[in-house]
Amino acid sequence: MSPRTVENTNRIKDERRAKILMAALRVFAEKGLQASKMSEIASQAGMSNGLAYHYFESKEALFHELATIAMDTSLGAYRAAAAAPGSAFDKIRSLVSGIVPSAYRGEGRLFFLLMIQAFTFRDIPETTRVMVAERSPEYSSILTSLIRRAQADGDVRAADPAMLAASLTAMIQGLAVISTPGYDIAFPDAETILRLISAQK
């Protein structure tokens, strides 16, 4: 097999995997893992049930890979914000400004809905449950540390920094939950959300 043929074959495989993953993301976000079926996912991906199973052995394997992608991406954003130049409040603003739009638009919203399931539903795969339990404390750790430093700078109001971090996180997750088509609401931007913790009146 020529190098070009191998390259084309690998590209096709990667494209099929990506289609299946995105189809699964849409189905899981709408129905949840328990009510979803591989046949629905395959249909949404535009391929046969057998071909979908060729790439992923089960819907649980799909859910786990999507949850891993979501955590890798979001934790990467948290780490990048914490390492960026500027004050602690600048870092918080950068993080919130990056996350808020994705909470209620496009694929970002679907990933938010999937991760809410991963954090709260009992029927998720055990491997996913363990992964989420092991990795999720880093979100709070990074955000709480930034808030504590911003408080020392006088940029964030005096309150339990862990409580403020939890409040910010809950509000952003809530945006994803209520941003269903046809739901008429004026979604807050990052600056509006940041006023909830800001020391500025």
CATH, residue 27: 1.10.10.60
Q: Are residues 117 and 168 in the same domain?
A: yes
Distance CA 42, CA 62 (A): 12
**CB burial readout 128-151, b (16+ within 10 A) else e:** bbebbeeeeeeeeebbbebbbbbb
Distance CA 51, CA 160 (A): 51
pLDDT in tens, 83-112: 999 999 999 999 999 888 777 777 888 898
Q: What is the pLDDT of residue 180?
A: 62
Q: Is the pLDDT of residue 1 over 60?
A: no
What single-letter amino acid sits at 198?
S
Q: How many domains does the chain have?
A: 2
Q: Are residues 99 and 167 in the same domain?
A: yes
Q: How confident is the model at residue 120 (pLDDT cuts 50, 70, 90)?
A: confident
Domain range for residue 133? 63-201
For the stretch 186-191, contacts whose Cβ atoms lie closer than 8 Å and that sit 24 or more positions apart, written own/partner, are 187/104, 188/100, 189/100, 190/93, 190/96, 190/97, 190/100
Q: Is the pLDDT of residue 9 over 80?
A: no
pLDDT in tens, 17-74: 999 999 999 999 989 999 999 999 999 999 999 999 999 999 999 999 999 999 999 9
Distance CA 29, CA 33 (A): 8
Q: Are residues 164 and 181 in the same domain?
A: yes
Distance CA 75, CA 182 (A): 31
Distance CA 157, CA 177 (A): 27
Segment 138-164 shows an average pLDDT of 96
Q: Are residues 147 and 184 in the same domain?
A: yes
CATH, residue 157: 1.10.357.10
Distance CA 31, CA 98 (A): 27
Q: Are residues 153 and 97 in the same domain?
A: yes
Distance CA 120, CA 16 (A): 30
Q: Are residues 182 and 166 in the same domain?
A: yes
DSSP string, 62-74: HHHHHHHHHHHHH
Q: What is the pLDDT of residue 32?
A: 92
| Total-model pTM | 0.87
Q: Are residues 92 and 3 in the same domain?
A: no
Distance CA 104, CA 132 (A): 22
